[in-house]
Amino acid sequence: MFEGKPEPQCLEVELGPRSYPVYIRAGCLKHLGKLIIQAGLGPKGLLVTNTTVADYYATLTQSSLEQAGLQVRSVAIPDGEAYKNLEWASRLYDAALEAQLDRRSPVIALGGGVIGDLAGFVAATYLRGVPLVQVPTTLLAQVDSSVGGKVAVNHIQGKNLIGSFYQPSLVVIDPHILKTLPARELIAGLAEVIKYGVIWDAEFFAFLEEKVEKALVLSMEVIEPIIARCCAIKAEIVKLDEREEGIRTLLNFGHTVGHAVETLTHYQVYRHGEAVALGMLAAGWIALELGRWSLSEFQRLRELLQRTGLPLHVPGADPRKLQELMVHDKKNLQGALRWVLPRSLGQAEINRQVPEELVRRALEKLVS
């Protein structure tokens, strides 16, 4: 049974020659430079962050890197999903060239999922690949996007349509950073946390039901085990299926509808985790209609999302437009949507045969 006991503060994502450590330790940001040197990276680097994170942590991070002997060029982009695009990737290539980075020079992503994706995409493509160091500063990035090696930028027709599988060399997670995270961002991150419980670990889901209020006030005795458990689940799944050819697709629970919601609202209305929560509700309702899981389990999911403060509806959205956008989702296979549907709490399946009429009704419920 998952009891929230602290797991090891360093776990390994086991991928043979692409394996890498994930450090989870309060206060470890000040040791970032030493950890990078210990990983055999340097002596030059490119630090990518956003203007919001820079105000809090750029000085501390830069000092840690310089004390370790690293020469680092720093670039802070505007804060927001709208800037995760090829234009800003090009600006980062310019900065890397100006800093004369070589193939041992790390790109260091200090920020949330947008920074991790954008900086990771640049690392994967600059000089055909340079080391990537993920330093996630949001809960969503700490429990999900910083681990597993999916990097991308957005296209006007959809989210993450231009990207690659590219594993980091190092992930450094400092839970204390979350103290400066806006409440809405923390809540959005908890959507991805809840996802792990639904698709993989029923006991973890029950733990979240019991401790969600403590997680919302960032009790370290709760939040650190949560981060560690999510990273451990992600590492286990990625080890089994690095390139999302099978079981890793389960991690997309809630994302089929979630990405459409983000695209429809031009990434301006909903945080990624909020959109995923909406997508989990839609997928959960479809699973209920197909007889995949019980009404009581669906209600437990809905209640936990509600207690967490996540949205349960998309008021004013056009369900037909949402359905059209889902057709362009990168998770499609041979023209068929790959739905991740819960079978019970802690178990999920991939379904490519969900009737369009059922999808439409689920979306109509979501926007009502």
> Which residues, in sequence order, are CB contacts of 120 under 8 Å at separation 6+?
107, 109, 132, 134, 149, 151, 152, 166, 168
Amino acid letter at 292?
A: R
Full 3-state SS string of 97-142 = HHCCCCCCCCEEEEECHHHHHHHHHHHHHHHHCCCEEEEECCHHHH
Could you give the CA distance from residue 118 to residue 96 in angstroms, rounded to a whole number? 14
Catalytic, out of 3, 87, 128, 245: 128
Catalytic, out of 252, 271, 292, 351: 252
Burial letters for 238-256: b for 16+ Cβ neighbours within 10 Å, e otherwise? Answer: beeebebeebbbbbbbbbb
Catalytic, out of 259, 271, 292, 300: 259
Is pLDDT at 332 greater than 80 in this prediction?
Answer: no
| 245 among known catalytic residues | no
Tell me the pLDDT tens digit for each residue of 100-113. Answer: 999 999 999 999 99
Catalytic, out of 81, 185, 192, 262: 192
pLDDT of amino acid 37: 96
Are 200 and 340 members of one domain? yes
Could you give the CA distance from residue 145 to residue 134 in angstroms, rounded to a whole number? 9
Could you give the CA distance from residue 153 to residue 82 in angstroms, rounded to a whole number? 10
Are 103 and 225 members of one domain? no
CATH, residue 124: 3.40.50.1970
Are 245 and 144 members of one domain? no
Is there a contact between 231 and 143 (Cβ–Cβ < 8 Å)? yes
| 332 among known catalytic residues | no
Last residue of a domain, one of 163, 179, 195: 179
Peptide bond into 43 cis (omega under 30): yes
Q: Is 4 inside any structural domain?
A: no
Tell me the pLDDT tens digit for each residue of 294-310. Answer: 999 999 999 999 999 99
Tell me the pLDDT tens digit for each residue of 239-276. Answer: 999 999 999 999 999 999 999 999 899 888 999 999 99
Q: Which domain holds residue 349?
A: 183-367
pLDDT of amino acid 64: 97
Could you give the CA distance from residue 367 to residue 360 in angstroms, rounded to a whole number? 11
Instruction: Provide the pLDDT confidence category of residue 334 given band limits of 50, 70 and 90.
Output: low
Counting the structural domains of the chain, the total is 2
Are 189 and 169 members of one domain? no
| 272 among known catalytic residues | yes
pLDDT of amino acid 368: 85
Are 150 and 267 members of one domain? no
| 221 among known catalytic residues | no
Are 163 and 231 members of one domain? no
Cα separations in angstroms, 178 against 4, 112, 124, 185: 19, 11, 27, 9
| 87 among known catalytic residues | no
Are 174 and 190 members of one domain? no
CATH, residue 212: 1.20.1090.10
Q: What is the mean pLDDT of residues 354-368?
A: 95
Could you give the CA distance from residue 154 to residue 86 in angstroms, rounded to a whole number? 8
pLDDT of amino acid 159: 79
> Which residues, in sequence order, are CB contacts of 352 under 8 Å at separation 6+?
333, 336, 337, 338, 339
Q: What is the mean pLDDT of residues 337-346?
A: 96
Please count the other Cβ atoms lying within 10 Å of the Cβ belonging to residue 262: 27
Catalytic, out of 248, 271, 292, 300: 248
Are 126 and 192 members of one domain? no
Q: Is 5 inside any structural domain?
A: no
Are 124 and 239 members of one domain? no
Determine the 3-state secondary structure of 155 from DSSP: strand
| Secondary structure (DSSP) of 215-233 | HHTT-HHHHHHHHHHHHHH
pLDDT of amino acid 333: 54
For residue 171, list its beta bridge partners: 22, 134
What's the chain's average pLDDT?
A: 94
Q: Is 26 inside any structural domain?
A: yes
Are 163 and 21 members of one domain? yes
Are 117 and 203 members of one domain? no
Last residue of a domain, one of 164, 179, 194: 179
Catalytic, out of 224, 242, 244, 274: 244
Catalytic, out of 159, 229, 255, 300: 255
| 361 among known catalytic residues | no
Are 18 and 157 members of one domain? yes
High-pLDDT (> 90) share of the chain, % = 89
Instruction: Provide the pLDDT confidence category of residue 45 given band limits of 50, 70 and 90.
Output: very high
Last residue of a domain, one of 111, 146, 179: 179
| 214 among known catalytic residues | no
For residue 12, list its beta bridge partners: 21
| 356 among known catalytic residues | no
Catalytic, out of 81, 84, 150, 229: 150
Catalytic, out of 234, 271, 292, 300: 234
Tell me the pLDDT tens digit for each residue of 144-177. Answer: 999 999 999 999 887 789 999 999 999 999 999 9
pLDDT of amino acid 327: 82
Confidence (pTM): 0.92
Q: What is the mean pLDDT of residues 307-317?
A: 96
pLDDT of amino acid 6: 53
Catalytic, out of 195, 271, 272, 300: 272
